Amino acid sequence: MCFPPTSACPVSKLAVRLGRLWPASLLGRLTLVMVAGVLVTQLAASAIWASQLRAKSQVEAQSAAQYVAHSASGAIRFFRSLPPAYRLLIIQQLREMGGTRFFVNLNHAYLPIEQIAPHPLADSIIATVGETLKSDLPHSPGFKLAFAWPDRLVVAEHDVRLNDLPDAWVQHVLLLRPNPAPILVIQTEIEPGNWLYMAALMPNPYFLNGNDPFAWDRLMPQVLSLGVVLLLCLLVVRSITRPLAALSDAAAAFGQGQDEEARPLPETGSREFINTARAFSAMRERIQRYIEDRERLFISISHDLRTPITRLKLRSELLDDEALRNEFEEDLDELDMMVKGALQCVKDSDIHENPAEIKLDAVLGRMVRSAQLAGHAVGYSPSGVSVRGKPLALKRALGNLLDNALFYGARAEISVSEEPGTVVVCVRDHGPGVPEDALASLFDPYVRLAHGREQNDGGMGLGLGIARSVIDAHGGQLLLVNHPEGGLNAIVRLPA
């Protein structure tokens, strides 16, 4: 078992490597699963077929070996029965007739044969032929068996090879061209000083190739079928994931406020996707209506609440009791501030403008120069980085972060960097920082820490919430962390 933080755990390393190989997209995952499934199925089927082919080849080879051995034993009996003087005459007549099942020759000694490379099926055939010959000719002194290739086969004494013989002697018995086949050679001593030499082909001359399940002519149909199946799999997977990609793009555009035209999703593909597309379109319309109703509601609130608040302020001036008048004015000021804060929150987070390319140096440079003219210390180095978004909304979000840094930290530093697929903007102040348990609550409306109220008594605690809403609408992320060297660091991550 592996316990953290051990970094050398082989199981964890293997899991990390496998995780890197696992695609992130649905298209990649479905393609990988289907391709792997087809490959495993093909390999398993090929392995079963190869096993059956080898077993079949083994049975056929054993039967053919026994047939050849019985024929050879009959030929050996025939030549043993002939007088020695007639044997060469019979052999010559057989050659002139075109030969028989065997190429036959007589030698005074055993001829060494250069055998083919070791092969299990060839070895099995030689063993079967040897056992059958011993069974048919139990009194023979022994048999020398071997498989050889025609171009290296020695057939007579003084190193006479098969290629040195006239074609008429062997062309009807052995295969020499265009595709030579291995030749079975049987040598036995029929009497002292006389060796009978017999060479023959197996009933299936190319039995070694027929036993190979990975021969090119057998692999080609499998490769073609595998290619067709994989192509069909890719087409099916693509047809499944393409509507999902369209749905994802539409959801991302709507979430970032880039879908003002609200083009309907194409209702094509499977029944499940058509239902999903219809549900998404209905949800988008409901959300759009809700946003429009909310805007009208806050416009009404702005109109309806400011008038009675103003009237109440005027009437409070008519009160004779100064203490009571002051209490009324404080309550009305607080109410007025809350209404303005709510309206500002809606106004700053619902900015209707078209996305465009934003050069951060221009936006941040203007903000830094304005702060420096106001007497604040702000550090910034141009980066040459651009992002795509709503210029005014992003400017307000970054402006809120810079204002907070200057209000609560005296001086600020802004830095821009690039990471794979992300642009990072950091706004750091040099203030006292924020307690770790209070970081999460800084985004809540009207939440202000004691240090913030001392530094900026006119604020309402809405700036960070507005900034996060704008950055979230751009598909980004806003994080607040305490800097190791002191102060609060606001980290903005935007899509590159």
State the Cα torsion 305-306-312-315 to the nearest 10°.
-150
- Does 476 reside within a domain? yes
pTM above 0.75, yes or no: no
Task: Calculate ∠ Cα 311-314-318, nearest 5°.
Answer: 130
Determine the structural domain holding residue 192 and report its residue range.
Answer: 53-210
Same domain assignment for residues 309 and 360? no
Question: Is 88 found in the same domain as 165?
Answer: yes
| Cβ burial, residue 274 (10 Å; 0-12/13-18/19+) | middle
- The label of the residue with tokens 């002519």 reads 217
On whether both 337 and 396 belong to a single domain, the answer is no
Alpha-carbon distance of 114 to 295, in angstroms, equals: 97
Structure tokens at 62: 């054993």
User: Is residue 325 assigned to a domain?
Assistant: yes
Residues 157, 281: one domain?
A: no
| CATH code at position 317 | 1.10.287
Asked if 305 and 342 sit in the same domain, the reply is: yes
Are 320 and 442 in a shared domain? Answer: no
Task: With respect to residue 132, please indicate whether it lies within any of the assigned structural domains.
Answer: yes
Matching residue, tokens 């210029």: 391
**Do 57 and 206 have their domain in common?**
yes
Q: What is the pLDDT of residue 117?
A: 87
What are the tens digits of pLDDT across the range 130-177?
999 999 998 888 899 999 888 888 888 888 888 878 877 777 777 667
Whether residue 134 contacts residue 143, with contact meaning beta carbons closer than 8 Å, is answered with yes
312 and 196 assigned to the same domain: no
Query: Domain tally for the chain?
Result: 3
Reduced to 3 states (helix: H, G, I; strand: E, B; else coil), residue 362 is helix
pLDDT beneath 70, residues of the chain = 1-15, 18-19, 26, 98-99, 175-176, 210-215, 217-218, 255-263, 269, 298-304, 337-353, 445-461
Q: How far is CA 100 from CA 74, 95, 415, in A?
A: 13, 8, 95
Q: Pick the last residue of a domain from 186, 210, 234.
A: 210
pLDDT at residue number 351? 52
Q: Specify if 466 maps to a domain.
A: yes
CB 266 within 8 A of CB 250: no
One domain for residues 79 and 122? yes
Tally of residues, the chain: 496
- Domain-located, residue 14: no
Burial label for 20, CB within 10 Å (0-12, 13-18, 19+), is exposed
397 shares a domain with 296: no
Per residue in 123-141, pLDDT (tens digit) is 999 999 999 999 999 888 8
Residue 148 lies in a domain: yes
Domain final residue, candidates 329, 347, 365: 347
For residues 30 and 244, is the Cβ–Cβ distance under 8 A?
A: no
CA distances, 443 to each of 348, 429, 479 (Å): 15, 17, 10
Position 102 in a domain: yes
Distance CA 433, CA 416 (A): 21
Q: What is the predicted pLDDT for the residue at 333?
A: 73
Q: Where are the beta strands (DSSP E) in 203-353?
A: none
- Based on the domain organization, do 405 and 343 belong to the same domain? no
Same domain, 79 and 132: yes
Residue where one domain finishes, among candidates 285, 313, 347: 347
Residue 26 domain-assigned (yes or no): no
Give the angle 101-105-109 at the CA atoms, nearest 5°.
135
Considering only the C-alpha atoms of the chain, give the largest distance between any 2 of them, rounded to a whole number of Å. Answer: 159
Instruction: Give the model's pLDDT for residue 285.
Output: 82
Neighbours of 105 (CB within 10 A): 21
For the domain that residue 372 is a member of, what is the CATH number?
Answer: 3.30.565.10
Q: Can you give the pLDDT at residue 163? A: 80
